[in-house]
Structure 1
Amino acid sequence: MAELHVGDVVTAKKFGPFEHDFGGELEKVYENSALVLIDDYNDGDSMTVSEMNRRAVVKKDAIKVIKAAPVPEPAEDDDDPDQDNA
């Protein structure tokens, strides 16, 4: 399974009230799941998507990344405690 990051564009397998698979963008990544902002769905699921406020928490193993978001480089720490401040 690929690493998930906020901003990734993904597809998710149908579950619970959904009748079809859906897609969207990751808003938050948890330990075993992720919050998907749903923007690509079948018309048959429009009521479900509306009731869920266009968001769904999905298990990581039910998510496939279509387009990875750029991962920012870690910031360098200017306040290094091991460095002498003479």
Structure 2
Amino acid sequence: MAEHQVGDYVKGKKFGSFEHDFEGEIEKVYENSVLIHILSYHDEDRILVGELNNRAIVRKDDAEPAKAEAK
């Protein structure tokens, strides 16, 4: 698996109170996890994402490369 880097767009697996997977950009890389700025998520998770200030810390193994959607 390629090493995660700041700026990579990834898909994060649902965890905790999340009902669905989400996508975003890596803001910081830690030893075993990454901080993701959540940019795309299911509407059912809207309130939770807001409470988390659009950020989540995810295990590196649970952050898979994804392609950003063109807007």
Runs of 4+ residues deviating >4 angstroms: none
CA-to-aligned-CA distance 1:6-25 (integer Å, 9 cap, x gap): 00000010000100000000
* C-alpha displacement of 1:57: 0.3
- What pairs up with 1:39-50 in 2 under 5 angstroms? 39-50=39-50
* C-alpha distance in 2 between matches for 1:55 and 1:66: 17
Aligned length: 67
Q: TM-score, normalised by structure 2?
A: 0.91
Percent identity between matched residues is 58
Structure 2's unaligned 5+ residue stretches are none
* C-alpha distance in 2 between matches for 1:36 and 1:2: 17
CA RMSD of aligned residues (A): 0.8
SS in 2 for 1:45: helix
Report what 1:18 is aligned to.
18
Structure label with greater radius of gyration = 1
Give the letter for the 1:28 counterpart: K
* C-alpha displacement of 1:66: 1.9
CA-to-aligned-CA distance 1:33-52 (integer Å, 9 cap, x gap): 00000010000000000000
SS in 1 for 2:66: strand
Report what 2:28 is aligned to.
28
* C-alpha distance in 2 between matches for 1:3 and 1:18: 25
SS in 2 for 1:53: coil
Is 1:58 matched up with 2:54? no
Question: Whose strand fraction is larger, Structure 1's or Structure 2's?
Answer: 2
* C-alpha distance in 2 between matches for 1:28 and 1:43: 25
